[in-house]
Amino acid sequence: MRSITISRRLAHVLTSAHPAPSTSSIPSTDSHHLTHPSVHHQHKNSYIHGTSNIPLRNETLGQTLRNTTERVPDKEFCAFLKYPLRKTYEEFYHDVRQMAASLYTLGLEKGDRVGVWGPNYYEWVVLQYACAFAGVIQVNVNPHYLHEELRFVMRKTGMKVLFAPKRHKHSNYVHTLIEAMPEMRRGKPGVGHIKSHDIPELRHIVLFGDDVPVHGAWVYSDLMKAAGTDERAKLEDMDRKLRPDEPVNMQFTSGTTGHPKGATLTHFGLNNNAYFAGIRLGWDREDHRICIPNPLYHCFGCAVGVINAVNHGQTVIFPSKSYHVPDIFEAIQNERCTTMFGTPTMFIDVLKSPLMKQYDTSSLRGGVIGGAPCPLALCEKMVKEMRMTDFAVIYGSTETSPLVTMSELHVDPFERIKSVGSVMPHQEIAIVDEYGVPVPTGAKGELWSRGYSTMLGYWADQDKTNLAITRDRWYKSGDTAVMNEDGTINIVGRTRDMIVKGGENVYPTEVEQFLHKLDYVADAHVVGVPDDRYGENICAWVRLRVEDEGKITPEKIIKDCKIGMAHYKVPKYVLIKKESEFPLTISGKVKKFEIQKISKELLGLGTVKSHFTEVVDN
């Protein structure tokens, strides 16, 4: 099995062979700079470099945790409210070091892969940093995976150890494990040695949640106590040998077709990306209590949330093990949270909840939204109704550890929410045409990014890596974007998602943004469908707010669109759907290719051939 061998030094050599345009006249865009970039530079083409007078940190994740623990040992690091459990930085550090040493009792060596499968448990965060200290690579396994998906990830990565809870809500992890590896049934209770014919590299299963032994699995609490003198000495030796450029985390990006790809990320990329995100949020200057309902298996939760907090000595609050709106309100009120993380869907749910009037959310002053396109109307409500004046929009991808752009808080909040912000420090962005050449400022093109945080590659998949990253280390996002004169970025669609209607290019995000402004719309997704005359036409799936169900017709929506949009952007078809009818990927993203397929059938367009390629996500 091939593994990722590209280092940041090699990336530097590749980049040096293809030098970037001069950036001497482009000012710093980090939050310590006193002026906005537009004061100094009018961009002739869509390229910008995030220069900064703040240096990158050449530290592993473990070194940063140690430094923060020495600085604020008694400060509360985390609260997992449904345990309930609280840990100071010193207590957390002790647990992490104990587990890191204990991992060696399982025969792990540097670079081995360790899977962590499950929702937001304290054990998840301990393992995140224990793997980092031990020099092994944590593989984030989606808690919604069923046995076939689980088997794929374990085989693809050559995983040696898998950690999981026994069960959570409707997910019976033990049952799924037995489906994937029937050999577990033959194991002794509390003994996790595994020999699987189909997953030959897997050696151990470890379960947490309670201390009752299960056939074929170690008990987490027993493993925690397993390290002896030799393992502790090995851990201290690893402290001296581990380099920041080495891989520490693997996250599988969920495509809507085909198998997921394992983006392989380094200590250096994750740590610095989180560090500069915290500076943008002002976390280096004042204390915050951060409410994180986002799942830890995504970069938003484990990197922008946890790693960011560790860099700046902040406190993370996990309302529940999985997303539950009432628990978010309880956490904000009882823990006096100052910042809330969330995807657009989460903030939509919070804002429409009747609990908004029953709970005290006055402690909130900041929010971070990302993970999907953010409707402007939603962002305006977050500022007005939730009083999140220190509110930031983030943009990036798993492959970039994850942030590429982010809002700057010195900008007026109602201006700030009109874009996904400006380039992160020490990174480059170019908006390019089909030849990879930067387009003029204000023109649409594909967003490419380059910098320290770009993944090493997709694990054991050089072909897909080569498609995603150019020889000179530009990562091709697949997103259509515009760079404004002040250097801020707007995401206007996906390059594979564009609708071409009679020679006019229509970007679905533009139509979706308008639909979200209509008072009665809770959610909307737009696709192209075949049209005999125009090649393609526009179809919108709309979910109405609960109070408007049965009152709003497709004709009413189309009429309102005609009032507010250019005629060629107005949907020809509007299908009103309930939330349960939207097809989703395993990570909760809407599968537009499936919407497109269903729409063709519902509209009787099965025999009409589009002139253009349909939506495909590789």
CB 29 within 8 A of CB 425: yes
Please identify, among 494, 510, 536, the residue that sits at the C-terminal boundary of a domain. 494
**What average pLDDT does the segment 141-166 reach?**
92
pLDDT over 90 at 615, yes or no: no
What are the percentages of helix, strand and coil residues in the chain, rounded to 5? 35, 25, 40
C-beta of residue 63 within 8 angstroms of C-beta of residue 40: no
Same domain flag for 272 and 200: no
Same domain, 483 and 504: no
Residue 583, domain member (yes or no): yes
Cα 524 from chain centroid? 21
- Regarding whether 231 and 89 lie in a shared domain, the answer is yes
Cis peptide upstream of residue 244 (ω within 30 degrees of 0): no
Please report which confidence band the pLDDT of residue 617 belongs to, taking 50, 70 and 90 as the band edges: very low
Name the packing angle between helices 376-385 and 508-517 (round to 10°): 40
Residues 487-500: pLDDT tens digits? 999 998 767 666 86
What pLDDT is stored for residue 501 in this prediction? Answer: 78
User: Any idea how long the chain is?
Assistant: 618
Predicted confidence at residue 61, as pLDDT, reads: 98
* Tokens encoding 532: 């005999």
Tell me the per-residue pLDDT of 555-571, one tens digit each, with 9 for 90 and over.
999 999 988 777 778 99
pLDDT surpassing 60 at residue 255 = no
Does the residue 534 lie in any domain? Answer: yes
pLDDT for res 563? 85
Give the domain CATH number at 567.
Answer: 3.30.300.30
List, in sequence order, every residue forming a beta bridge with 193; answer none if it has no partner: 204
d(CA 268, CA 474): 18
Tell me if 79 sits within 8 A of 92, measured CB to CB: no
Pick from 215, 242, 269: which residue ends a domain? Answer: 242
Instruction: Please indicate whether residue 201 or residue 1 has the higher confidence score (pLDDT).
Output: 201
Is 5 inside any structural domain? Answer: no
Q: In what order do the strands lie in the sheet with 489-494?
A: 47-49, 427-432, 444-451, 475-483, 489-494
Q: What is the pLDDT of residues 296-323, one digit of tens each?
A: 999 999 999 999 999 999 999 999 999 9
pLDDT of residue 502: 61
Domain count, the chain: 3
Q: Is the pLDDT of residue 7 over 70?
A: no
Instruction: Compute how many other C-beta atoms are within 10 angstroms of the C-beta atom of residue 66.
Output: 18
Q: How confident is the model at residue 479 (pLDDT cuts 50, 70, 90)?
A: confident
pLDDT tens per residue across span 15-31: 333 333 333 333 333 43
Output the pLDDT for position 536. 84
Q: Which residues contact 85 (CB under 8 A, 6 or more apart)?
A: 78, 79, 122
Q: In this structure, are 209 and 300 located in the same domain?
A: no
Q: Can you say whether the dihedral through the CA atoms of 306, 307, 310, 314 is positive or negative?
A: negative
Provide the Cα torsion 548, 553, 555, 560; round to 10°: 0
Q: Based on the fold, state whether residues 574 and 452 are members of the same structural domain.
A: no
> Concatenated DSSP letters for 116-130?
EESSS-HHHHHHHHH
pLDDT category, 607, cuts 50, 70, 90?
A: confident
Average pLDDT of span 56-64: 98
- Kindly report, residue by residue over 159-208, the tens digit of the pLDDT: 999 999 998 888 899 999 999 999 999 999 999 999 998 999 999 999 99
Query: What are φ and ψ of residue 463, in 5° steps?
Result: -60, -45
Instruction: Identify each DSSP E strand in 81-217 by its residue range.
Output: 85-88, 113-117, 137-141, 161-165, 167-168, 171-172, 204-208
pLDDT at 229: 97
Beta bridge partners of 468: none
Q: Is 582 inside a domain boundary?
A: yes
Q: Return d(Cα 332, Cα 56) in angstroms, integer.
A: 33
pLDDT at 503: 54
One domain, residues 310 and 215: no
Residue 306: CB atoms within 10 A of its CB come to 24
Query: What phi and psi values does residue 211 have, to the nearest 5 degrees?
Result: -100, 15
Q: Are residues 474 and 542 in the same domain?
A: no
Least confident range from 52-56, 375-379, 466-470: namely: 375-379
C-beta neighbour count of 513 within 10 angstroms: 20
Helix-then-strand count for the chain, H and E = 19, 29
Taking residues 44-59, what's their average pLDDT?
Answer: 96
Q: Are residues 516 and 420 in the same domain?
A: no
Residues 480 and 492: beta-carbon distance below 8 Å: yes
Q: Which amino acid is at 47?
A: Y
Residue 609 confidence (pLDDT): 60
- The Cα–Cα gap between 526 and 510 comes to 9
Q: Which among 25, 74, 72, 13 has a CA at the least distance from the CA of 51?
A: 25
Same domain, 327 and 431: yes
DSSP 306: I
- What letter would DSSP give residue 300? I
Q: Distances in Å between the alpha carbon of 42 and those of 15, 53, 200, 561?
A: 25, 21, 57, 34
H or E stretch including 265? strand 261-266
Task: Judge if 214 and 324 occupy the same domain.
Answer: no
Residue partners of 395: CB distance under 8 A and separation at least 6: 370, 403, 404, 405, 406, 420, 421, 489, 491
pLDDT digits (tens, 9 = 90+) for 98-138: 999 999 999 999 999 999 999 999 999 999 999 999 999 99
Closest Cα to residue 313, out of 33, 126, 70?
Answer: 70
pLDDT of residue 295: 93
pTM score, whole prediction? 0.79
Q: Does residue 403 form part of some domain?
A: yes
Backbone φ and ψ of 23, nearest 5° = -125, 20
Residue pLDDT, tens place only, 400-459: 999 999 999 999 999 999 999 999 999 999 999 999 999 999 999 999 999 999 999 999
Q: Which residues contact 384 (CB under 8 A, 6 or more apart)?
A: none
Determine, yes or no, domain membership for 462: yes
Return the pLDDT at 588: 80
**Which among 475, 494, 513 is the end of a domain?**
494
pLDDT-derived band at 37 (thresholds 50, 70, 90) equals very low
Beta strand ranges found along 452-511 (DSSP E):
457-458, 475-483, 489-494, 499-501, 504-506
CATH number of the domain that residue 346 is part of: 3.40.50.12780
Query: Has residue 609 been placed in a domain?
Result: no
Same domain, residue pair 205 and 354? no
Mean pLDDT of 527-552: 90
Q: Is 322 helix (H, G, I), strand (E, B) or coil?
A: coil
Q: What is the pLDDT of residue 497?
A: 66
Q: Beta-carbon neighbour count of residue 486 at 10 Å?
A: 19
Cα separation, 519 vs 479, in Å, equals: 28
User: What CA–CA distance (Å, rounded) separates 77 from 74?
Assistant: 9
Contact (CB, 8 A) for 328 and 351: no
pLDDT at residue 14, rounded to an integer: 32
Q: Residue 504 is part of which domain span?
A: 499-602
Mean pLDDT, the chain, integer:
88
Residue 12: helix, strand or coil by DSSP? helix
Please tell me the least confidently modeled range out of 18-27, 442-451, 505-514, 519-528. Answer: 18-27
Residue 333 and residue 237 share a domain = no
Per the domain annotation, does 37 fall within a domain?
A: no
Residue 189, token pair as written in the block? 């209770």
